Structure 1
Amino acid sequence: MAHILSAVSGSETDIVPITRALISVSDKTGIVDLCTFLHTTKNVELLSTGGTAKALRDAGLPCIDVSEYTGSPECLDGRVKTLHPKVHGGLLAVRGNAKHEQDMLENKIGKIDMTILNLYPFAATVASGAEFGQCIENIDIGGPSMLRSTAKNHAFTTIVTGPDQYDEIKACIEDHGGTTLALRKKFAARAFALSASYDSAIATWFAKQLEEGGESSSSSSNGSSPVVTRVYKPEFPLKYGCNPHQKPAGISSLLGADLPFTVLNGTPGYINLLDAANAWLLVKELREATGLAAASSFKHVSPAGAAVAVPLTDVECAAYEITPDAAANLTPTALAYLRARNADPMCSFGDYAAVSDVVDEDTALILKKEVSDGIVAPGYTPQALDILKSKKGGKFIVLEAKANFVPDAVEYREVYGMTFSQRRNDVVITKEHMTKNVVTKGGVSALTEDAIRDMIVASICVKYTQSNSVGFAKDGMMVGVGAGQQSRVDCVKLAGRKVSTWYLRQHPKVLGLQFKAGVKRQDRVNARVRYIEGDFTDEERVRWEAQFETVPEPLTDVEKNEFMKKATGVTISSDAFFPFRDSIDHASKVGVSFVAQPGGSVQDAQVTECCDAYGMVMSLTDVRLFHH
C-alpha cells in the first residue's frame, strides 16, 4: 500500500503511478528506450512535440501531439507549443484537492504525471559562435516553464531532466510500481538547479553582449551586473580534504558538464585530483608544443619533474639504473616518464604521474617498481592497465583523461567567503615566445633547436608550478624546480641546488658506490643524494654507512666544484621577471646557457648585461606565468 502523508491541500503520496508522460527533448539520447519501457511495459500514454514525437513514431511508439491534446496548434514558429492550461493545469493540479479536481473537470484538463525534457542547447549555441538572433531563438521558454511546474508539484508529478536519470527512473518504477516521493524531491531539486543555471548563463551572456556593444558595463556598481549562478552536481565523496579533519569533502561537476577524468581504478583523494589536473594540463601542453611524448611527476600541486622523450646518454643510463640497450628500446612514453621521474627522484617518491600518450606496457613496468600514488593519461593498453591495477594491492589510482573535455573560459575559486574568478591561463607557449625578442649578444641566431625545446619545456613547467617559481631544463627534462618561494633568488637557489644534485649523480664516485645486496631502489636513490650533500649527523652516518659493502670515501667540495665546472647548456625559465641580477649570478654556477623570462622589470637592462657577461642567451617572452 502507498504511504500517505498529510498535506495542506490534497494528499502528498509516497508512490505515484505514471499514467501519462509529456516528452520534449532536444538531446534524444536514450529517449526511445525509456519511452518503450513506459509505454510497452507500463501502458503509459505518451504526449510529445515536434522532433521528439517524430523520433518516437519512427521507433514504432504511439504518441499524441501536444497540439492535438490541447486543441491548440503550435504557432509563432514553434515559440508556443506547451504554454497552455491543459499542459500546466495537468502538471500543477494538486491531486485530491476538491477545487482543483473540479477546475480540471470543467476545463477538460487531464493529469500529467511525468515530464521528460531537456532545455534548448543555449550554451552550446553560444559556444558555436552563433549570431545574436540565433542565440536568442535558443532561449527556451516552454521547457523551463514545464520544468518548474512539474518540480513545484513534485508531491504528485515527476520531472526528469537528463538521460543520466533514465535508468534510475526505470528501476524505481519497476521496483515500486511508480515513483517515490524521495526520488521526486531529488529530481525536483536538480530541476530547479538546472533552471537557475540556465537563466544565469543567459543573463551572463546578455550582459557580455551589452558590454561589447558599449551599452553597459558588467563591472558597474549600480546593481546592473548579472548574478553568476554556478550549479554543481555531486559526483563522489572523498575520504577527506587536504587533511583528515577536513570533512566532509567531495568532487562535483558543473551541472550539465562532465568531469575531465574517468576513474578506472583506485579511490583518488583531494590532493591526488589537484595533482592530476595540473599534471595532465602540463603534459598535454608539452605534447602540443614540442610534438614529443611528455610526462610529469607531481607532488603537492607542483612538478618534481617533467620531461619529453629525448634519448638518454650512457652516463644518464648509469645514473638512472637502466642499461643503454634497455633505454634504447623504451617507447617514447616510457622514456619521457623515466626522465621526469629522475629529475628529482627523492622528491618524486610517492608522486602522481601524468603522461601525454597512451600508457603502454613499458611505461607501466617503470611505474610498477616506483613508489607512486597514481597516474593520469589519455588511455591505456590492456596489458598496461592490468599491471597498474595490481599495484599497491589494487589501490593504485588510474585516471583516464577525456580527450573531448573543454573547460570553461572563466574559472572560479571560493576562499574564506570570497569567490575569485579569472580567465583560465590559456596562453599557449610556443617557439615564437622564445625567438621573438632575444635581447642578448648574438640574437636569435645564438639559439639552438635544443635550447628552444628546453625553453619551452621549462616555461610550460613553471606555468604549473606554485609561484614564485623558476625551473631549470636540459636535454628535454627538468633538472631543478624551485616552487613557492617569496624571493625569486631563493627560488633560483632552491632549484639550483637540485640541478647540482642532478649533475653530481653522474659523478664517477657516485656511480661507483657499492651497495650491499638487498638495499631497496629508493634507499639507493636517497643514499646517493645524501652522499652528495654530505652533511650527516653522527647517528645518521652510522645508518648510511651500513648500506655499503665498503664505506665510500667522501665526495669533497673541491671534487664537486671541479665537476660542476663542466656543466653547460642548461636553460632557466622564470614565471615572472628577474628583479635583480643576483638570480643570474647564481644560475651561472650550475651551467646555465639560456634564459627565458617575461621581462618588464626596471632592471631588465642590468639583467641583460649580466647574461652577456656570462655568455648566456636570454629571451623575453612577454608572458607572466604565475600559478596559485
Structure 2
Amino acid sequence: MPAAPDFPPAPDRVTPRRALISLSDKTGLEATARALHGAGVELVSTGGTRAAIAAFGLPVKDVADLTGFPEMMDGRVKTLHPVVHGGLLGVRDAAEHKAAMDAHGIGPIDIVWIDLYPFEKTVESGGGFEAAIENIDIGGPAMIRSGAKNHGYVAVAVDADAIGLVLEALQADGATSLELRKRLAARAFARTAAYDAAVSGWFAGQVDDAAPVRKSIGGTLAQTLRYGENPHQTGAFYRTGERRPGVAHAEQVQGKELGYNNIADADAAYELVAEFERPACVIVKHANPCGVAVGGDLSEAYARALECDPVSAFGGVIAVNRPLGEADARAITEIFTEVVIAPGADEAARAVFAAKKNLRLLITDGLPDPHAPGEVFRSVAGGFLVQSRDVARITPADLKIVTKRRPTPAEIEDMLFAFTVAKHVKSNAIVYARDGQTAGIGAGQMNRRDSARIAAIRAREAGEAKGLGRSLAEGSACASEAFFPFADGLLEAVAAGATSVIQPGGSIRDEEVIAAADEKGVAMAFTGVRVFRH
C-alpha cells in the first residue's frame, strides 16, 4: 500500500484557468461554455464536443494540441496521455509535482466536465454486443477518477447539476471551494462506480454468469425521502438502469411526496396487477394484497376487490392494469386512498382525483412484463442476497390432479387465479378466491393453519359486509404458496367453504393431505412450483 505523501494542505479556494469538456449529451453545453469563457477559463475539448463549442463562436483548444498526438483508433485513444492526466493529478503546491509539470510542459486542468459514453442507454435501447462494447467509455472514467482523486485542486462535474454548482461558485466568488470540490469528487466516484456496475452486470449476462465473483449495484438518486419505514429512519429512493414500467419511472401527477412505504406498496401492487389480462384491480396494505379482482371494466374490478377486505383497504394503495376513466376515479375516491398507480388516466379522471389533494396519482408508460427476467436484491448484515425475479406462471396443463374428484373448469380457473395472488402474498400465504375475486387472504403467519384461519375470518366478514349471510369463501378455491405440511391447514380451508385446493405438493405427508381431501370430497391439484415470498 503506497504511503501517504507529505503534501501541503489543499487550498480552500481555486480560481480555475482551464476546463476540459467531453460530452455525449451536449444539452446545456453552449450556455455553460459561454459562462466558463466569460469567467476567463480556457476551454479544452475533444471530437464532437470541440466542434460544437467552436460552432458557438467560442475559442476552444483540441486535446491533441496539448498532447501532440492526434485522436486515433476510432477515438479509443485521445485523452489517455501524461499531459492530460498530469494536468489533472498534479499537486500544484508540491515541489516535486510542480517541477515535473514544468519540465514536461504540463499545464493544470482545474475543471473537468465529462458525460460518459451512453453505455446504459445503448443496452436499454437493444443495441447489440459490439455496439455496447464500443459505448464502454475508457478515457472518461479515467479522467473523472484522476480529477476526483486530486479534488484538492480540481472540480469534477459528471452531470448538469454538478457543472451548475461549479458555475454558481464562479459567479459568486470567482473560485471553487474545497468543500464543493470534495462533494463533487464523492459524486464523481459514485458515477464511475455505477457505470462500472452497469458494464460488469451486462457483461456477466453476456457470458451467462448468474453468480459472478464480484457483484455491484448502481443507482441514481430519484428522491430523498422524509424518512424510511419509520420516522426515526432515514430513507432515499434510487433508480437503476432497468427500464421496467412501475413506480420508479412513473409520473406523479398530483399528491404529497411519496414515502418509503408508499413506494414499496405501489411496487407490490403494480407487479401483481400486471399478472392479469382482464381488467383488474389490486389493493395493497403494508406490502400485502388485501383485495384482488378482475371484472368487465375497472370500476367493476375495483368494487369486487374492495369487497374482500374494505377495512384494510382504507388508506391503501390501488393498482389497475387499464387507463382510468372518470367513473373509476369517482369510485376509488369514495374512501381514503394513499396512492393510485395506473398505465394512464384521462382528463376527466384526473379532474376527479385533483379534488383529493393528498392522494398520489402515479401514471406509468405501461405494465411490467411478469415473464421478463430480472434480479431482486435484499440486504443482510455484511452483504446482500441476489435472486432471479419470480416469473413462475402456472397453466392448466401444469396441474397434476391428485384427488379422486377432478376439479371443474370453473374451479381450475379459480385455483389459478388464487395461486397467482398467493405468489404476491407474504409467506405463509393462504388465498381463497372465486369467480375472479379474492374472498379471503391470510398473510405472513408462522404456520399455514393460522393463515388459513385468518383468510377464513376475512372471507366471513366480507360476506357479512356484503349482506350475503354467508362467507365469501363458500365454493371457493384455496391456494397455498407452499405445500401443506399437515392436513390441518387443508381442513381449515374446507371448513371455510373451499371446494378445491391448489398447492405445490412435495411434503412427506402428501398422501395424508390427499386422503383428507378425498374424505371431504375436495378436488386438489399440485403445481410442482413453490412461490414463497418473504
Q: TM-score range by the shorter chain?
A: 0.7 to 0.9
Q: Check 1:452–1:156 CA distance in 2 against 1; reply closer, same or farther (3 A cut).
A: farther
Asked whether the equivalents of residues 434 and 620 of structure 1 are also in contact (C-alpha less than 8 Å), the reply is: no
Q: Check 1:458–1:166 CA distance in 2 against 1; reply closer, same or farther (3 A cut).
A: farther
Residue in structure 1 matching 2:478, options 572, 575, 578: 572
Distance in 2, Cα, partners of 1:284 & 1:341: 18
Q: Check 1:135–1:260 CA distance in 2 against 1; reply closer, same or farther (3 A cut).
A: closer
Asked whether the equivalents of residues 281 and 292 of structure 2 are also in contact (C-alpha less than 8 Å), the reply is: yes
CA deviation map 1:176-225 (0-9, x unaligned): 4454433322121011123334445555666777785xxxx968xxxxx3
Residue in structure 2 matching 1:22, options 20, 23, 26: 20
Asked whether the equivalents of residues 435 and 619 of structure 1 are also in contact (C-alpha less than 8 Å), the reply is: no
Asked whether the equivalents of residues 22 and 49 of structure 2 are also in contact (C-alpha less than 8 Å), the reply is: yes
CA deviation map 1:419-439 (0-9, x unaligned): 331324331425x25654344
Distance in 2, Cα, partners of 1:208 & 1:77: 27
Residue in structure 1 matching 2:507, options 577, 597, 601: 601
Secondary structure of 1:364's aligned partner: helix
The equivalent residue for 2:66 is 69
The residue type equivalent to 1:283 in the other structure is V
The equivalent residue for 1:526 is none
Higher Rg: 1
Distance in 2, Cα, partners of 1:235 & 1:15: 31
The equivalent residue for 1:284 is 274
The equivalent residue for 1:32 is 29
Residue in structure 2 matching 1:397, options 330, 338, 360: 360
The alpha-carbon deviation at position 232 of structure 1 amounts to: 5.2
The equivalent residue for 1:457 is 417
1:111-510 superposed matches below 5 A: 111-122=108-119, 128=126, 130-131=128-129, 138-200=135-197, 225-226=213-214, 228-231=215-218, 233-244=220-231, 246-247=232-233, 249-253=234-238, 259-263=248-252, 264-286=254-276, 291-310=277-296, 332-391=297-356, 394-401=357-364, 403=366, 409-415=374-380, 417-429=381-393, 432=395, 436-440=399-403, 446-448=408-410, 451-507=411-467
Distance in 2, Cα, partners of 1:371 & 1:64: 61
Residue in structure 2 matching 1:82, options 74, 79, 86: 79
Asked whether the equivalents of residues 152 and 188 of structure 1 are also in contact (C-alpha less than 8 Å), the reply is: yes
The residue type equivalent to 2:264 in the other structure is L
The alpha-carbon deviation at position 306 of structure 1 amounts to: 1.4
The alpha-carbon deviation at position 298 of structure 1 amounts to: 1.6
The equivalent residue for 2:3 is none
The equivalent residue for 2:531 is 625
The residue type equivalent to 1:252 in the other structure is F
CA deviation map 1:110-130 (0-9, x unaligned): 332222223345556667585
Distance in 1, Cα, partners of 2:310 & 2:405: 36
Distance in 2, Cα, partners of 1:361 & 1:470: 34
Asked whether the equivalents of residues 30 and 53 of structure 2 are also in contact (C-alpha less than 8 Å), the reply is: no
Asked whether the equivalents of residues 470 and 574 of structure 1 are also in contact (C-alpha less than 8 Å), the reply is: yes
CA deviation map 1:375-415 (0-9, x unaligned): 23334434434443443xx3333344464989993332224
Distance in 1, Cα, partners of 2:393 & 2:56: 50
Distance in 2, Cα, partners of 1:600 & 1:29: 59
CA deviation map 1:329-371 (0-9, x unaligned): xxx2333222222211122222222222333332332232212
The equivalent residue for 1:530 is none
Asked whether the equivalents of residues 23 and 48 of structure 1 are also in contact (C-alpha less than 8 Å), the reply is: yes
Q: Check 1:55–1:616 CA distance in 2 against 1; reply closer, same or farther (3 A cut).
A: farther
Please report the TM-score for the alignment, with normalisation by the length of structure 2. Answer: 0.84
Asked whether the equivalents of residues 266 and 395 of structure 1 are also in contact (C-alpha less than 8 Å), the reply is: yes
Number of aligned residues: 521
The residue type equivalent to 2:315 in the other structure is G
Asked whether the equivalents of residues 344 and 498 of structure 1 are also in contact (C-alpha less than 8 Å), the reply is: yes
Q: Which deviates more, 616-625 or 399-408?
A: 399-408
The alpha-carbon deviation at position 487 of structure 1 amounts to: 1.7
Q: Percent identity?
A: 36
Asked whether the equivalents of residues 208 and 218 of structure 1 are also in contact (C-alpha less than 8 Å), the reply is: no
Distance in 2, Cα, partners of 1:237 & 1:202: 26
The alpha-carbon deviation at position 140 of structure 1 amounts to: 3.2
Secondary structure of 1:369's aligned partner: coil
Asked whether the equivalents of residues 149 and 185 of structure 2 are also in contact (C-alpha less than 8 Å), the reply is: yes
Distance in 2, Cα, partners of 1:52 & 1:358: 42
The alpha-carbon deviation at position 605 of structure 1 amounts to: 4.0
The alpha-carbon deviation at position 72 of structure 1 amounts to: 0.3
Q: Check 1:437–1:368 CA distance in 2 against 1; reply closer, same or farther (3 A cut).
A: same
The equivalent residue for 1:516 is none
CA deviation map 1:216-248 (0-9, x unaligned): x968xxxxx32x34355554444443334x33x
Distance in 2, Cα, partners of 1:404 & 1:48: 42
The alpha-carbon deviation at position 576 of structure 1 amounts to: 0.8
Which ranges in structure 2 are unaligned for 5 or more consecutive residues?
Answer: 1-5
CA deviation map 1:14-54 (0-9, x unaligned): 3534x43222234x152534545446755654333334445
Distance in 2, Cα, partners of 1:257 & 1:95: 42
Secondary structure of 1:306's aligned partner: strand
CA deviation map 1:142-161 (0-9, x unaligned): 12210111112223222111
The residue type equivalent to 2:217 in the other structure is R
The residue type equivalent to 2:293 in the other structure is A
Asked whether the equivalents of residues 297 and 348 of structure 1 are also in contact (C-alpha less than 8 Å), the reply is: yes
Asked whether the equivalents of residues 155 and 166 of structure 2 are also in contact (C-alpha less than 8 Å), the reply is: no
Q: Which deviates more, 608-617 or 590-599?
A: 608-617
Secondary structure of 2:328's aligned partner: helix
Distance in 2, Cα, partners of 1:168 & 1:366: 47
Q: Check 1:114–1:295 CA distance in 2 against 1; reply closer, same or farther (3 A cut).
A: same
The alpha-carbon deviation at position 138 of structure 1 amounts to: 4.8
Distance in 2, Cα, partners of 1:333 & 1:164: 41
Asked whether the equivalents of residues 155 and 181 of structure 2 are also in contact (C-alpha less than 8 Å), the reply is: yes
Asked whether the equivalents of residues 466 and 627 of structure 1 are also in contact (C-alpha less than 8 Å), the reply is: yes
CA deviation map 1:546-593 (0-9, x unaligned): xxxxxxxxxxxxxx6xx56x9754222111112233333332334423
